[in-house]
Amino acid sequence: MALQGPFFGKRDDPAPATSPRGGQTSLGGTSSLGSAGGAAQPFAASPSALPATPAAPATESGAKLTVGPNIKLKGVEITDCDTLVVEGTVEATMNSRVIQIAEQGAFKGSAEIDIAEVRGEFDGSLTVRQKLVIFSTGKVTGKIRYGKIVIEEGGQLSGEITFGTSGTDSKSSASSNSTKGDQAALAA
C-alpha cells in the first residue's frame, strides 16, 4: 500500500485503473500514467474493452428509473418514466409503460401501466393495459385490472380482480377472489 502525503486522500500510485493492455482503462481509453511506454495513445473505445451488454427489449428503451436495494422512495408521483425497476421499496403513484418489481422489491400505491412484471410484491391499485406477469415469487394484492395475465406456478394474486382496462368493461369480474397460480395463463 502506498504511503499518503500530507494531504488526505492523495495517493502516490496515480494509475490504479490500468489493465495489462498497455495502460488502457476499463472505460476503453488510454492513460500514459501507468503505461510502460510513456507515450499516451489517443482516447478511443475499442469494442473489446467495452463491457458486453445483452440486447435490451424494445420496452426498456427510453427513460428508466431504478430504485435499488435498501432504497425507500415514498410519497411521490412518478411521471415521464418509460421503465421503473423496483429493487427496494416504493410508495407512489405512477403512469408509465413498464414496471419490473424484483424479488426483494415492493411497490405500494397506484399504477397505470402497459406491462407489469412482478417477482416481488405489489399492493394497491394496478391497471395493466397490456400484460401482467406474476412470477413464482410474486404477490399482487389490491384492485387489479388487466388486459392479459400470466401467473407462474407459486405466484399469488388476490383482491378485486377485473378483466379489461376500461371502467365500463365488465366481461369477467371476480370480487374478493384469491388465486395461487398453477401455471395459469389467461389471455384476452
Q: Are residues 150 and 176 in the same domain?
A: yes
Provide the pLDDT for residue 165: 74
Q: Is residue 1, in this structure, part of any structural domain at all?
A: no
Q: Is residue 5, in this structure, part of any structural domain at all?
A: no
Q: Are residues 118 and 174 in the same domain?
A: yes
**What is the C-alpha to C-alpha distance for residues 44 and 24, in angstroms, rounded to an integer?**
10
Range of the domain at 157: 58-186
Q: How many domains does the chain have?
A: 2
- CA 100 from chain centre, in angstroms, equals 5
Give φ, ψ of 19 to 5 degrees: -115, 170
Q: Is residue 4, in this structure, part of any structural domain at all?
A: no
Q: Is residue 118, in this structure, part of any structural domain at all?
A: yes
Give φ, ψ of 60 to 5 degrees: -100, 5
Provide the pLDDT for residue 111: 95
Q: Is residue 44, in this structure, part of any structural domain at all?
A: yes
Provide the pLDDT for residue 98: 95
Q: Are residues 100 and 63 in the same domain?
A: yes
Which of 146, 143, 111 shows the shortest CA–CA distance to 132?
A: 146
Q: Are residues 105 and 180 in the same domain?
A: yes
Provide the pLDDT for residue 76: 86
In tens digits, the chain (188 residues) has pLDDT values of 555 555 555 455 544 444 444 444 444 444 444 444 444 444 344 444 433 333 334 444 689 999 999 999 998 899 888 999 999 999 999 999 999 999 999 999 999 999 999 999 999 999 999 999 999 999 999 999 999 999 999 999 999 999 987 654 433 444 444 444 444 444 33
Q: Is residue 157, in this structure, part of any structural domain at all?
A: yes
Provide the pLDDT for residue 2: 53
Q: Are residues 29 and 93 in the same domain?
A: no
Q: Is residue 91, in this structure, part of any structural domain at all?
A: yes
pTM for the whole structure:
0.59
Provide the pLDDT for residue 80: 85
**What is the C-alpha to C-alpha distance for residues 145 and 128, in angstroms, rounded to an integer?**
6
Number of C-alpha atoms within 13 angstroms, CB side, residue 163? 12
Q: Of 25, 52, 79, which residue constitutes the final position of a domain?
A: 52
The CA radius of gyration of the chain, in Å to the nearest whole number, is 24
Provide the pLDDT for residue 40: 46
